[in-house]
Amino acid sequence: MEVASVLVPLFHTGSVEGLQKLANECRFYTRTTVDSDGTSLYRLFHQGLADYLCGVAEPGSAEGRCSDATAIIDRLLTSGLVGHDALTGARSWATAAPYLLRHVLSHAAAADGEFVKALLDDTDFLIHADPDQVLPYVLGGTTSGMTAVYADAFAERRPTTPEARRFLLDITVAQGRDAAVLRSLRSTVSSDSWQPYRVARLPPRGTVRALTTTVQDGDLVTLIADIDNCVALWQVNGTRRGPWPLERRSDTVRALASTRMDGRWVVVSGGLAGRLDVWDLESVAGAARVVPIVSPVRALACGPVRDRHVVVAGGADGSVHINWLDSGAPIAWVSEAHTGPVTAVACTTVAGEPVAVSAGRDGLIKYWHLGSGLPFAPPLDNGAPVGALACAPSGSHPVVTGGLDGTVRFWSITERGSVLGEAHAQAVRAVACTELGGVP
């Protein structure tokens, strides 16, 4: 009734208060359903009746156009059904009725093309409206600027929330680097919201199996292992560097890790062959140093132990391996660290002691002393198989796990507890930690 009460004065001289009584009297000619927000929806039971009420001689001949269409769309947009930003005066669609978000474009099309253009130029409307309702109007005309970005972003994906739709548009704009569209999009969010920094498309079949960030020649770069066993190095601006000695591997690379050792950046790769390949990034023509560990590798991490570095590998057979990175010599091999594959490992410091953290499909989180490989603390139960793990440099709950049940948990090693974070609709397979404004 919220939308109908706004339109009644266009056609009816009676009071708006009598609208429900009028709706009850017309019940024979209408069908009623419940909208997503719990309000009632009323529609005429037949298009022929709608054509008749619009004064159309032959049903369907006006293609849905109504002589009052301009007055209707103008009233819908100016009556208060759509909010306005207090500072800029721009329309704010966050509180608009679901009916309006679904059908305002069809009302606009029935009136004048300029109404449609104005809506498609409204970034906040595009974020809150259902893509299935918007795309026919976007694809029906010439796409440029925001409409071109919208068509590309929602060609295959249908995020269900405004936040997810905004982020998908952000990623798509970052790929094309259209500055005007990017400014328009970012004007709809607060300055402290997460924004994609750089986005680059991978080559065909470029499914990512593993990645790690490092530095080469003073530039921040990312190493990516794809489904074709190719390990490529990308600059942060999206440019692929090459040729690179890691380009093609006979082994299926499932994990990558990087660290700075003796003033030089090194990268460690591991896969199904049961070995670690250690690469010196500053020696482009050099071959990898092989560290055999006999177990198929699913996860890798590097960490310091006093003035040396170690590499921790999680095996598909449930084992955990700790080796000196400079010599490859083993420190520890825990053959049955987990029941089932180890899905993630990380390195951190607890009470000044270097510690490795491992997690697996068994749902357990375990701590190992990096210098000896001995258990550092009793295991914790995540309550679900762990898909990802990361450690923050500080904070009361420095260990973060992503569960295959969609949960994110923050663990305190000393307090032996977790704080349940916001759940995801699907399995969490990647997490990362950083500091923002000094806060972990």
Q: What is the pLDDT of residues 60-95, one digit of tens each?
A: 444 445 667 788 888 888 877 888 877 777 888 888
Predicted pLDDT at 303: 92
- Let me know if residue 438 belongs to a domain: no
Q: Tell whether 153 and 9 lie within a shared domain.
A: yes
- Let me know if residue 197 belongs to a domain: no
Vertex 32: Cα angle to 26 and 33 (nearest 5)? 165
User: For residues 239 and 262, is the Cβ–Cβ distance under 8 A?
Assistant: no
Q: Tell whether 240 and 287 lie within a shared domain.
A: yes
The total domain count for the chain is: 2
CA distances from 49 to 60, 226, 399 (A): 10, 58, 63
Predicted pLDDT at 211: 81
φ, ψ at 113 (rounded to 5°): -60, -25
- Let me know if residue 115 belongs to a domain: yes
Q: Tell whether 182 and 303 lie within a shared domain.
A: no
Give CA–CA dist 333/209, Å, rounded: 25
What residues make up the domain containing 409?
208-420
The total of other beta-carbon atoms located within 10 Å of residue 70's CB is 15
Name the nearest CA neighbour of 406 among 389, 432, 429.
429
- The segments of the chain whose pLDDT lies below 70 read 1-20, 22-23, 27-29, 35-67, 141-143, 176-179, 187-206, 228-229, 236-251, 283-287, 394-397, 422
User: For residues 302 and 257, is the Cβ–Cβ distance under 8 A?
Assistant: yes
Q: Tell whether 242 and 379 lie within a shared domain.
A: yes
- Let me know if residue 99 belongs to a domain: yes
Vertex 240: Cα angle to 310 and 242 (nearest 5)? 75
Predicted pLDDT at 196: 65
Q: Tell whether 71 and 156 lie within a shared domain.
A: yes
Q: Tell whether 235 and 363 lie within a shared domain.
A: yes
Q: Tell whether 227 and 172 lie within a shared domain.
A: no
pLDDT in tens, 6-35: 666 666 666 656 666 766 777 666 777 776
- Let me know if residue 194 belongs to a domain: no
How much is the pTM?
0.65
Name the nearest CA neighbour of 276 among 261, 258, 262, 297.
297
Predicted pLDDT at 60: 44
pLDDT in tens, 240-280: 555 454 544 566 888 999 998 888 888 898 988 888 989 88
CA distances from 341 to 301, 330, 338 (A): 16, 20, 7
User: For residues 402 and 357, is the Cβ–Cβ distance under 8 A?
Assistant: no
The gap from C-alpha 111 to its chain's centroid, in whole angstroms, comes to 37
Q: Tell whether 326 and 408 lie within a shared domain.
A: yes
CA distances from 438 to 393, 395, 434 (A): 11, 11, 9
Predicted pLDDT at 55: 57
- Let me know if residue 437 belongs to a domain: no
Predicted pLDDT at 181: 75
Q: Tell whether 159 and 228 lie within a shared domain.
A: no
The total of other beta-carbon atoms located within 10 Å of residue 175's CB is 16
CA dihedral 76, 79, 81, 82 (to 10 degrees): 90
| Cross-strand pairs, 91 | 84
Predicted pLDDT at 204: 53
Q: Tell whether 313 and 359 lie within a shared domain.
A: yes
3-state secondary structure at position 158: coil
pLDDT in tens, 368-377: 999 999 999 8
User: For residues 323 and 346, is the Cβ–Cβ distance under 8 A?
Assistant: no
Contacts of 64 (CB under 8 A, 6+ apart): 106, 110
- Let me know if residue 108 belongs to a domain: yes
CATH for 226: 2.130.10.10
The total of other beta-carbon atoms located within 10 Å of residue 157's CB is 11
User: For residues 349 and 305, is the Cβ–Cβ distance under 8 A?
Assistant: no
Q: Tell whether 335 and 221 lie within a shared domain.
A: yes
Give CA–CA dist 85/94, Å, rounded: 11
Task: Give me 306's structure tokens.
Answer: 């006093």
- Let me know if residue 268 belongs to a domain: yes
Q: Tell whether 43 and 103 lie within a shared domain.
A: yes
